[in-house]
Amino acid sequence: MLSCKEVSRLVSDSMERELPLRKRISLRVHLMMCKLCKGYKRQILFLRDAMRHYTASLDSDTPQPKEALSPEARKRIQNALKEK
Amino acid sequence: MESNQLTDTDRWVEEYGDYLYRFALQRVRDPEQAEELVQETFLAALKGRDSFAGQSSMKTWLVGILKHKIIDHYRKRGQGRSPHDLEPRADYLDDLYDEKGHWKSEQGPADWVGDPAAILERSEFWDVLRQCLDGLPARQADVFTLREVEQLGSEETCKVLNITPTNLWVMLHRARMGLRRCLELSWMGKSDRKRS
């Protein structure tokens, strides 16, 4: 019987590699019986989903005007390019 | 037109500098690093401008260069570290479970996901997530960012950061635990808790 501690690690590992069959089965059995671990897994999957959205939002062109090169940095980069 | 655009480096910086800066800043989350990456990108673009054939837009071309520079930035950080070196475990990790490895009842995951789609639409959630990412220990943040933001595969992430697969799994696990906990603590406080 896996402990919740082991299960939380396996939930993460299963997103990175295929677990051995026995581990997969024990994991599934534990998740069926343990409400807390089920909730944990749900949150970890939600996190991955959220990160997908996050990346997509970074790639879209939404302007965020607060963040811009400072005038000094701009000047410095322009000068660096002239030296070449 | 095109040749003019390719030689006037001042205009490059005026026109694309801010966009590239934001792109870099959101990924490396460090203003100084982001500025440096923008400069490196423009320098590489200047050097390689003959290879810019105009099939893509100038902006797309520059972003392509910047993406490589960002991965290089992580690679350089990975080279300075031993592949077996882990950050010390956060104390809270031991405090989550009892001696049998079961969740301590008060430390177990609370039910805060609710309707995931609704959470993702709230801008406060993204502020909280960004704060939580900033709060991760440096190496966990690098591993997690490459894997989940840059969306490199497990193997590629190991290569870039010069770490073993086991190390990758441990660090991702800790990063996920840390983020999950941070989101739970910060988000539950802000949202209207469990709506049942």
Residue of B20, B33, B39 for testing the chain A interface, max A β-carbons within 10 Å: B39
CA distance A75 to chain B (A): 9
Q: Name the residue facing A69 among B21, B151, B173 (closest C-beta).
A: B21
Residue B95: CATH number of its domain = 1.10.10.10
Q: Name the residue facing B17 among A13, A57, A69 (closest C-beta).
A: A69
Give yes or no for a contact between B120 and A50, defined as CB atoms under 8 angstroms apart. Answer: yes
Give yes or no for a contact between B67 and B61, defined as CB atoms under 8 angstroms apart. Answer: no
Identify the top-confidence range among A49-58, B45-54, B140-149. B140-149
Q: Which domain holds residue A49?
A: 1-59
Q: What is the ipTM of this complex?
A: 0.86
Identify the top-confidence range among A3-17, B37-51, B84-98. A3-17
CA distance A76 to chain B (A): 9
Same-domain pairing of B75 and B100: no
For residue B193, pLDDT over 60 is answered with no
What are B61-75's pLDDT values in tens digits? 999 999 999 999 999
Give yes or no for a contact between B140 and B178, defined as CB atoms under 8 angstroms apart. Answer: yes
Same-domain pairing of B103 and B153: yes
**B39 in A contact zone (CB under 8 Å):** yes
pLDDT at residue number B189: 62
Same-domain pairing of B50 and B137: no
For residue B194, pLDDT over 60 is answered with no
For residue A24, pLDDT over 90 is answered with yes
Separation of alpha carbons B111 and B117, rounded Å: 15
Is residue B169 domain-resident? yes
What is the H or E stretch that residue A31 is in? helix A21-33
Number of separate domains in chain A: 1
Q: Name the residue facing B13 among A46, A64, A77 (closest C-beta).
A: A77
- Residue where one domain finishes, among candidates B58, B79, B100: B79
Is residue B144 domain-resident? yes
pLDDT at residue number B4: 52
Q: Which domain holds residue B144?
A: 91-190
Band of residue A61 on the pLDDT scale cut at 50, 70, 90: low
Residue position matching structure tokens 């077996």: B84
- Residue where one domain finishes, among candidates B30, B56, B79: B79
Separation of alpha carbons B17 and B45, rounded Å: 13
Taking CA–CA distances from B97, the nearest residue in chain A reads: A5
For residue B161, pLDDT over 50 is answered with yes
CA distance A55 to chain B (A): 5
B-chain CB neighbours of A82 within 8 Å are 9
Structure tokens at B44: 């590489």
What are B66-121's pLDDT values in tens digits? 999 999 999 998 887 776 666 777 777 778 899 899 998 777 788 777 788 888 88
Number of separate domains in chain B: 2
Find the DSSP H helices in chain B.
2-7, 9-28, 31-47, 58-79, 91-95, 116-120, 123-134, 138-144, 154-161, 165-190
Residue B62: CATH number of its domain = 1.10.1740.10
Q: Span B158-174, mean pLDDT?
A: 93
List CB contacts of A22: < 8 A, sequence separation 6 or more: none
Residue of B50, B69, B113 for testing the chain A interface, max A β-carbons within 10 Å: B113
Q: Name the residue facing A43 among B39, B42, B180 (closest C-beta).
A: B180
**B152 in A contact zone (CB under 8 Å):** no
